[in-house]
Structure 1
Amino acid sequence: MSDITRAGSDLIYELEDRPPFHQAMVGAITHLLAIFVPMVTPALIVGATLQLSPDTTAYLVSMAMIASGIGTWLQVNRYGIVGSGLLSIQSVNFSFVTVMIALGSSLKSDGFHEELIISSLLGVSFVGAFLVVGSSFILPYLRRVISPTVSGIVVLMIGLSLIKVGIIDFGGGFAAKASGTYGNYENLGVGLLVLLVVIGFNCCRSPLLRMGGIAIGLIIGYLVSLCLGMVDFSGLRNLPLVTLPVPFKYGFEFSFHHFLVVGTIYLLSVLEAVGDITATAMVSRRPIQGEEYLSRLRGGVLADGLVSVIACALGSLPLTTFAQNNGVIQMTGVASRHVGRIIAIILIVLGLFPMIGGFFTTIPSAVLGGAMTLMFSMIAIAGIRIIISNGLRRRETLIVATSLGLGLGVSYDPEIFKILPTSIYVLVENPICAGGLTAMVLNIILPGGYRQEEIFPAVRATEETD
């Protein structure tokens, strides 16, 4: 990249830069703080809802960390055609939580014991992951479908959907809602404190302070929460000292009926992965069109599928590229994929020693919400930048407006399409998928060969900006 482009960039360390070790560690820890709780939460939710034994739940959590480390290593190193070569962090896919709970509850009501339930859920997830692997090979032939407009809408919908998660955490999270403390002065005060600290440090001229802004905000928020008695250490009890992965520990069971449901969610995850990888390329100042972009896209989605195959074999829920880290890249200015190697190693180590990883789960939701609300909004802004990267003409305006309307509309009332068959409803009840599918269909059927009034001029992601 030219010096002029670098001068106009908000990045402190670009994709191939190698930060000094201490700065790389700050960047890695910041990413970990952003993803750790969301990474282990799906396993905790599934374990609690299905009333799995503490040992089984702890194993699912440990394997989620180890699989995330393996997946992140594959993504950032890019072995041949596998991996995006970007700072793409892998983590457990939240989209599977509801499906795993529904299928698991059905099996439990039929009298299945715990090991058979886990083996059935992971079995169909293992087979379903190959759908993602297969889809990666047809992505280069979908250039007309995967346009900057479509990718931008998916990224925008991801950001807007995550903002809801961030603001709920800001008020104390779902646990606070259940206990009646949601939105009290303590939660709002801590969340606001973290938000202000992150904003303040992000305005600093010092690269180190800017990179560490999120981590510093979370640490300050954690210490204040500790003084206020908001930190709960009960989840650290009875955790094993070391957990080693055992392939197919609970056996292997497969149901074609369950596969249809899980397979549908996997196809949805491909659309999310496309948006996430596009956003990562955008904030890393890499092309979001052309051969390099398509190569990274195919490699990233292929890694997504292979990592889910590995994860389900080890005993973790399926994984995907995490959107949260795009916000971290924008806030810290660190897009170096070499930082991803450190993240991968730390995740694997934390998975082997669950007591260390369990500490991160004690971070109060309000602390996380204070930082995440800002980071998730940055993802939405990245989506807007992608949409206008080629200019916003009347045709693109119609696509964006319709997709945004249906996507946000579904988020406000997910049951509007409940009359549809279950396999279709599972797709369109998700705002990301509803908006993304709408954009893809309109991008195909709306004519684009005529001259149109350009409402907004093109804004190139790699041009110098003031």
Structure 2
Amino acid sequence: MSDISNTDSELVYALEDKPPFYQSFVGAITHLLAIFVPMVTPALIVGTSLQLSTATTTYLVSMAMIASGIGTWLQVNRYGPIGSGLLSIQSVNFSFVTVMIALGSAMKKDGFHEELILSSMMAVSFVGAFLVVGSSFILPSLRRVITPTVSGIVVLMIGLSLIKVGIIDFGGGFSAKHSGTFGNYKNIGVGLLVLVVVIGFNCCRSPLLRMVGIAVGLIVGYVTALCLGMVDFSNMHNLPLITVPVPFKFGFTFDIAQFLVVGTIYLLSVLEAVGSITATAMVSNQPIEGDEYQSRLKGGVLADGLVSVIASALGSLPLTTFSQNNGVIQMTGVASRYVGRVIAIILIVLGFFPVIGRFFTTIPAPVLGGAMTLMFSMIAIAGIRIIISNGLRRRETLIVATSLGLGLGVSYDPDVFRILPPSLFVLVENPICAGGLTAIILNLLIPLRQKESNANPVVSEESE
């Protein structure tokens, strides 16, 4: 099977379609509404956890937007070998949040000042990004390893992992848990309202109404939350008018021990990027096997690495291909990479105005949760479709079941493998990595029988 594109596609605009400007703009805004808060939140979390100054945190947020815009532009335009050529949006990699907080907190305890902490964090991020660049060149030789079954499991685990984030926001977020308001009538009501509006618009026959469904849902939810007094504008004060990027603003202090930790996360992020790009290809009705697919993977991962190099130099946390926009593509039916150009330009422009980024952080968690829970579930469904497209023979069923069991098991209790050495525990405490690595290992160890390779992709137990 080399191409899973189907003729009964529900895409409004396919990959190479060029929508009218106003529809491109609407599509771009819809994507931005879905990803903007997750894009700027990591910098806010790191800034708050490390007690960085307001000016520094604001700078980190602005650079996240600018770097994301640059990365998205490279991905969608595909310059030579760089970029996937898909509607692949770059954003801050959540996997680095806990790592950066841990490294920064340790340095803070040792008495290091803010600038030196950021200097070290950005330096190891800058050097580590070249590991991703290098890994992109060996991807074509890994066809035996990264099969549709493996990629599908990674996409499925990405979706299932994100659902947890969505449902927590649906109930009010972590702040509501601390305040004792989690899951109260107000939070659940707003979340359900957004969910119903998004579903309602996506049931419409009009392509335009489908495109704006998520945006309208978020706007309706925000206005409702505003009327209920759920919107907090306290973080909008004392912001600079314009933020200018300064390469290596905090300096460059390299630490080999920190590099080993960050480098490990970078290598694991390659697997996640492969899953995200595969999901984007899937929902865009593009092949997920063959030379074209391998070329997109290589270009996408290469862009991932180069963008993280740029982001770290500017003062942003590392970036990766975002999974969230795959749900938006499915919900809106817009897979045109030309919409990605509009997204990239908007992100870069908004990055110079920190007040814009901070405004999006005022969107209450239940509003986001109502839309994200549905979108993240769509990502999981895309993973299931990829798995099924490769067939579910006895061998594939064993691989999927074991990987799903261990991946989900780790998400329920990450300490289950605490007995392992720290270097190995870092690999398996993440459900995406645990499921993906299990799939890779089993894919290599369980032999592919000749009669299975020639058989119908989906067969029953009796026929085997």
Q: TM-score, normalised by structure 1?
A: 0.96
Paired residues of 2:82 and 2:302 also in contact (CA < 8 A): yes
2:20 paired with 1:20: yes
What pairs up with 1:396-407 in 2 under 5 angstroms? Answer: 396-407=396-407
Per-residue displacement from partner, 1:77-128 (whole Å, max 9, x unpaired)? 0000000000000000000000000000010111101000000011101000
Q: Deviation at 1:6?
A: 7.3
Matching residue of 1:89: 89
Residue 151 of structure 1, CA deviation: 0.2
Shift, 1:456, TM fit: 3.0
Could you say which residue in structure 1 is the equivalent of 2:145? Answer: 145
Matching residue of 1:464: none
Residue in 2 aligned with 1:392? 392
Matched, 1:346 2:314: no
* AA in 1 matched with 2:434: A
3-state SS of paired residue (2:81)? coil
Q: Tell me the distance in 1 between the aligned counterparts of 2:121 and 2:162.
A: 26
Cα distance in 2 for partners of 1:450, 1:409 equals 33
Find the counterpart in structure 1 of residue 314 from structure 2: 314
Note the residue ranges of structure 2 that are not aligned, 5 or more in a row: none
Q: Tell me if structure 2 keeps the 8 A contact 1:388–1:457.
A: no
Residue identity in the other structure for 1:148 = P
- The reply on whether 1:206 has 2:240 as its aligned counterpart is no
Instruction: Return the letter of the residue paired with 1:181.
Output: T
Map of 2:435 onto structure 1: 435
Q: Which residue of the partner structure matches residue 120 of structure 1?
A: 120
Could you tell me which amino acid in structure 1 is paired with residue 165 of structure 2?
Answer: V
* 2:451 aligned counterpart, secondary structure: coil
Aligned length: 454
* SS of residue matched to 1:385: helix
Alpha-carbon shift at residue 408 of structure 1 (Å): 0.4
Aligned residues of 2:154 and 2:271 also touching (Cα < 8 A): yes
Inter-partner Cα distance in structure 1 for 2:106 and 2:173: 27
In structure 2, the residue matched to 1:169 is 169
CA offsets, 1:181-231, max 9 Å, x none?
Answer: 111111100000000000000000000000000000000000000100001
Letter paired with 2:306? L
**Would the aligned equivalents of 2:61 and 2:357 in 1 still touch at CA under 8 Å?**
no
With 21-30 and 80-89 compared, the bigger mean Cα shift is at: 21-30
> CA shift at 1:454, angstroms?
5.8
RMSD: 1.2
Asked whether the 8 Å contact 1:65–1:350 carries over to 2, the reply is yes
1:263 partner letter: G
- Superposition pairs of residues 32-43 of structure 1, within 5 angstroms: 32-43=32-43
Percent of matched pairs sharing the same residue:
81
Return the offset for 1:451. 2.2
Structure 2 counterpart of 1:461: none
SS at 1:274's partner residue? helix
- Letter of the structure 2 residue corresponding to residue 448 of structure 1: L
Paired position in structure 2 for 1:456? 458
2:450 aligned counterpart, secondary structure: coil
Distance change >3 Å, CA 455–CA 76, structure 1 → 2: closer
d(CA) in 2 for partners of 1:46, 1:158 = 22
The aligned residue for residue 290 of structure 2 is 290
Instruction: Name the aligned partner's letter for residue 152 of structure 1.
Output: G
User: What's the CA shift for 1:417?
Assistant: 0.8
Match of 1:111 in 2: 111
Q: 1:260 — aligned with what?
A: 260
The alpha carbon displacement at 1:19 in A equals 0.7
Task: Please tell me the residue identity of whatever aligns with 1:301.
Answer: V
CA distance in 2, matches of 1:124, 1:259: 5
Question: Partner of 1:275: helix, strand, or coil?
Answer: helix
1:227-261 Cα distance to aligned partner (Å, 9 max, x none): 00001111111111000100000000101100000
The 1:423–1:194 alpha-carbon spacing in structure 2 relative to 1, beyond 3 Å, is same
Contact 2:129 2:309 in 1 (8 A): yes
Q: Deviations over 1:349-403 (max 9, x none)?
A: 1110111222111111100000000000000000000001121111000000000
**SS of the residue 2:91 aligns to:** strand
> Which ranges of structure 1 fall in alignment gaps of 5 or more residues?
459-466
Farther off after superposition, 407-416 or 352-361: 352-361
Would you say the 8 A contact 2:40–2:357 is kept in 1?
no
What CA distance in whole angstroms lies between the structure 2 residues aligned with 1:81 and 1:352?
A: 29
Contact 1:394 1:455 (8 Å CA) reproduced: no
2:67 — aligned with what? 67
Structure 1 position 420, deviation (Å):
1.1
Give the aligned residue type for 1:191.
G
Q: Structure 2 length as normaliser, TM-score?
A: 0.96
1:449 deviation in Å?
A: 2.5
2 CA distance for matches of 1:208 and 1:391? 35
